[in-house]
Chains A and B, each alone.
Chain A
Amino acid sequence: MFDLSPEEWTAIHLSLRIALVATIGALPFGILIGYLLARKNFWGKSLVDSLVLLPLVLPPVVTGYLLLISFGRKGPVGAFLDQYFGIVFSFRWTGAALACAVMGFPLMVRAIRLSIEAIDRRLEGAASTLGANRLWVFATVTLPLALPGVIAGMVLCFAKALGEFGATITFVSNIPGETQTISALIYTLTQVPAGDAAAMRLVLVSILLSLAALVVSEQLARMAGARIHGE
């Protein structure tokens, strides 16, 4: 029962790669937006806040379709990126990573924003009297103190990306070896006769991966917390 077929291995490998790239790609934007929302007051802040949260409440198929018409080869953003940078998202695994990043982004930003809001700003004032300019204050005080939230945000984004289905399949379809993730393959297997055993194997793999992500995140958060409040 537990002999995974090459097709299944490919899907697992692809899922992990897509989730990892989505998480790492979203991270700088997540930190930037989380910091802006936590600290700055600017015109249109509530609009940015809503836009960031939108993928959380929209039907994933809508998000996927919006990605398709904007980042597809003929879409305005997609055409621009293709022409000037040679980056193509549509029907590639990179597109799946983009869809997963967009879907996981609200969770990531929320965790980072909350952790930055919880920082004692007086410590940043102290750092500035000690000679640190804004960038150094951010790098040596704000970011290290927000680290547990950053890790939590990354894990949430990763988990969301692993499970993403609707936006991905709408945007980049379900191509074996390119965009067929675990979720998409399970879906395919449930549509064919005699796919039950394979689907069940992948379900178990999904559960294992999710559990592993949770355990690792708990461990990392505890280590980061100990670093900050350590004795």
Chain B
Amino acid sequence: MLTVDVEKRLDSFMLMAKFDVAQGVTALYGSSGAGKTTIANMIAGLVTPDRGRIAIDDMVLFDAAERINVPPHRRHIGYVFQEGRLFPHLSVNANLHYGRYMHGVASDNAETQRIVELLNIGHLLKRRPGALSGGERQRVAIGRALLMKPRLLVLDEPLASLDRRRKLEILPYLVRLRDEAHIPMVYVSHQAGEIVRLASQVVRIEDGRVRAIGGLELLDVNPSEMVY
């Protein structure tokens, strides 16, 4: 279980967040500028909170009082960014294995095969990221985060840069991922439609504060009216 209890001042903006993430998918939901991405970055270690504590089970990642701050490369948290952030100078295959290799995770052909098939990226392996469509890029980014065997997967608006058709193309992969990978996931989004399909728990963020924690009833739109 991931426990987050952090504070961070960014210029005139004060961010305070306290919530737990159990198994399954937890959505950080709120409008843009609410502070969702900053929270995701703090979980991954890319942004350091001013105060608070972040832990996965009994492993402390950050504790201001204890002066613990595990650097991102030792947190073992898979992070899928909004824009993919694939390495442009490496092939898709090298991108996929980058995290696995850096973490010293032994190569596991069956597992690789399973992830490549799950995300349907087998035909892309020899290409460069520059030659991929937006949707393909995001699938590779998801695969790259999965292959390092993360203890938690953070997805920051992974569909936001895609048009509607591409979103509909990727959502089923995310659903399969949730059902098959058994890794707790934090899903950052301002799109109720995506969250309805994926998440069971919703943390609603407004103006840098957690406004409510609960189920899908916290979403702004009636789920039955969803277009996805």
Contact = CB atoms under 8 A, between A and B. Distances in A.
Interface of A: 122-123, 125-133, 136, 140-141, 144-145, 227-231
Contacts of B102: 127, 130-132, 136
Contacts of B103: 130-131
Nearest to A130: B99
Contacts of A129: 44-46, 72-73, 75, 77-79, 99
Given A131-B148, A145-B89, 19 more contacts: A123-B88, A125-B46, A125-B85, A127-B87, A128-B46, A128-B73, A129-B77, A129-B79, A130-B144, A131-B102, A132-B73, A132-B102, A136-B73, A144-B89, A145-B88, A228-B88, A230-B128, A231-B130, A231-B131
Interface of B: 44-46, 71-79, 81, 83, 85, 87-89, 98-99, 102-104, 127-128, 130-131, 144-145, 148
Contact of B98 (A130, A133, A145, A227): A130
B73 A230 contact: no
Contacts of A130: 73, 98-99, 102-103, 144-145, 148
Contacts of B79: 126, 129
B148 A126 contact: no
Contacts of B76: 131
Contacts of B99: 129-131
B130 A127 contact: no
A131 to B, nearest CB: 3
Give the residue among A126, A127, A227 with the most B Cβ atoms within 10 A. A126
A230 B130 contact: yes
8 contacts: A125-B85, A128-B71, A129-B75, A129-B99, A130-B73, A130-B103, A145-B88, A229-B130
Contacts of A122: 81, 83, 85
Contacts of B128: 230-231
Nearest to A128: B72
Contacts of B44: 129
Given A122-B85, A126-B85, A127-B98, A133 B127 contact: no
Contacts of A228: 88-89
A155 to B, nearest CB: 20
Majority secondary structure, A binding face? helix
B146 to A, nearest CB: 11
A133 B130 CA distance: 25
Contacts of A127: 87, 98, 102
A116 to B, nearest CB: 14
Contact of B85 (A123, A136, A144, A230): A123
A136 B46 CA distance: 16
Contacts of B74: 131
B72 A141 contact: no
Contacts of B89: 144-145, 227-228, 230
A127 B98 CA distance: 8
A148 B171 CA distance: 38
Contacts of A141: 87
A39 to B, nearest CB: 16
Contact of B73 (A133, A144, A229): A133
B16 to A, nearest CB: 23
B45 to A, nearest CB: 7
Nearest to B85: A126
A141 B87 CA distance: 7
Nearest to B78: A129
A182 to B, nearest CB: 37
B227 to A, nearest CB: 31
A48 B184 CA distance: 48
Q: 5 closest Cβ contacts across the A-B interface? A: A130-B99, A131-B102, A231-B131, A131-B103, A126-B85
A126 B144 CA distance: 11
Nearest to A129: B79
Contacts of A230: 88-89, 128, 130-131
